[in-house]
Amino acid sequence: MSISPRNPAVAVVGATGAVGIEILRCLEQRNFPVGDIRLLASARSAGRTLPFAGREVAIETLTEDSFKGIDVALFSAGASISRRYAPIAVEAGAVVVDNSSAFRMEPQVPLVVPEVNGETTGKHAGIIANPNCVAAIMVMALAPLHRARPIRRVHAATYQSASGAGAAAMEELRQATAAYLADRPFEHKVLPHPYAFNLFSHNAAIDEETGYNGEELKAMAETRRILGTPDLPISITCIRVPVLRAHSIALTIEFDQPLAPEEARALLAKAPGVALVDDRSANHFPMPSEASGRDDVLVGRIRRDIGDPSGRSIALFVSGDQLLKGAALNAVQIAEQLFPR
């Protein structure tokens, strides 16, 4: 499907959510050639306005008639909304970039991280999927290494921020932290466990057969699909930590041949969308406080895995903004591929 408008009409579905707000910022900051913009949300948000490109844009109620004249629709409102409205948007003539899990594993829907498999964007049939935030951030570090030495196995542990659960979870963390410091009781409602000064297993449902939760299963399956390695063994443990935004990931990667840490460092240093933060003398490595608000995924702590005597494994640490590369920025980058300047 070819895309031709020079200044496409854009719809943002879920415009009032944490990711929707970031999509608007990315469109503006990256000077995406918006011809017209339509902000769509639930009826309770209708009539409010959001700033965009120096003006206030009214929020409209999402309906089946919302996509007339729209060229690209950026969805960030949950899987049920996407399943219902994305086909309607496509039928109206729009290309959908969907941030939910609704279509990520559909064979006819490309699952895209532009720096990794951007060539698949043009193979869409109206819908393009934005990956799970963990997968999107993780493959930014894995792909440059995999191109040099095929990966045989990945072990990962995540440290996932409140932003992954949305604006309500971020606000709960703020309030819970204030209450804890003031020695006041606080009743958590958004997440299932106390969040301030605590960490816990990701709150996605546990699969009884494997013992992995839904977040872990999604991240493993989507990473394989993005890398084009359907049989790649991956094991991951996903943990919520009391950080407002930016997810971090500890990775141990086994290759089919030895890869020296110095070569891995050089490969990552020149990889697009990656920033090397690997200062051993200052003990300065990727941190969510420095990844927050940044487009690049921070990578560092690069070292040989001394638990593998074969020399084929390295360990490293990654931190990336879940609301940006893990969601909004990646969606806008896909849209930029659809409408190149």
Write down the pTM of the prediction: 0.94
How far is 316 from 278, CA to CA, in rounded Å?
10
Residue 37: per-residue pLDDT: 97
pLDDT tens for each residue of the chain, 341 residues long: 444 567 999 999 999 999 999 999 999 999 999 999 999 999 999 989 999 999 999 999 999 999 999 999 999 999 999 999 999 999 999 999 999 999 999 999 999 999 999 999 999 999 999 999 999 999 999 999 999 999 999 999 999 999 999 889 999 999 999 999 999 999 999 999 999 999 999 999 999 999 999 999 999 999 999 999 999 999 999 999 999 999 999 999 999 999 999 999 999 999 999 999 999 999 999 999 999 999 999 999 999 999 999 999 999 999 999 999 999 999 999 999 999 98
Domain made up of 9-130+327-338: CATH architecture: 3-Layer(aba) Sandwich (3.40)
Helix axes 133-148, 214-227, angle to 10 degrees: 40
Residue 289: per-residue pLDDT: 97
Q: Of 133, 146, 202, 238, which one is the catalytic site residue?
A: 133
Residue 188 annotated in active site:
no
Residue 1: per-residue pLDDT: 42
Q: Of 124, 146, 202, 247, which one is the catalytic site residue?
A: 247
The CATH superfamily assigned to 135-322 is: Dihydrodipicolinate Reductase; domain 2 (3.30.360.10)
Residue 4: per-residue pLDDT: 56
- SS3 for 89-135 is HHHCCCEEEECCCCCCCCCCCCECCHHHHHHHHHHCCCEEECCCHHH
The domain spans of the chain are 9-130+327-338, 135-322
